Amino acid sequence: MNKLTLMTIMLWVAAMIGGCSASLDNNIEGTWSGQDAEGHRITLQFSGDDLALTQDERTLIGTWSLDTSEEPAQLTLRMHTPAGNIQQVPMIAKMVSFNKLMLRTGTDLKSRPTTFVSEGAANQLLLKRIN
């Protein structure tokens, strides 16, 4: 096999691998669902800058922002509470695959963690895309 053929194959493989990786920037919008460590059903719906968070039957609305220049990416939710306040929830986020999103909050919901932990942590959530 000549060098040109080998180089072409390597570039093609690199492009395919790169094209298959899930990016938060382009893929977070939509509806995601999962269960927290206590068994509560959680649904997040990202649409533009708007967010709806449903836990069991209770829904909060708010906005979100994402900073993918950090590793892991920093996701910030700003939720409107029933009392009329805005609660900011800093977290980290990563796409596990195109249809799976991992989120982790600080245990106090006020601090941002720096890493993900093994599955089953109370403050870490694996969500699946439902649309």
Average pLDDT of adjacent 10-residue blocks, the chain of 131 residues: 48 39 77 92 95 93 95 95 93 94 92 86 91 89
Q: What is the pLDDT of residue 109?
A: 87
- Model pTM score: 0.79
For the chain, the distance separating the N- and C-terminal CA atoms, rounded to the nearest angstrom, is 45
Q: What is the pLDDT of residue 7?
A: 47
* Strand-pair partners of 64: 77
Parallel, antiparallel, or unpaired: how do β-strands 30-35 and 86-97 relate? unpaired
Domains and CATH numbers, the chain: 23-129 (2.40.128.50)
Q: What is the pLDDT of residue 99?
A: 94
Q: What is the pLDDT of residue 120?
A: 67
Q: Compute and round to an integer the Cα radius of gyration of the chain.
A: 18
Contacts of 77-84 spanning 24+ positions with Cβ under 8 A? 77/51, 77/53, 79/51, 79/53
Q: How many CA atoms lie within 13 A of 111 on its CB side?
A: 6
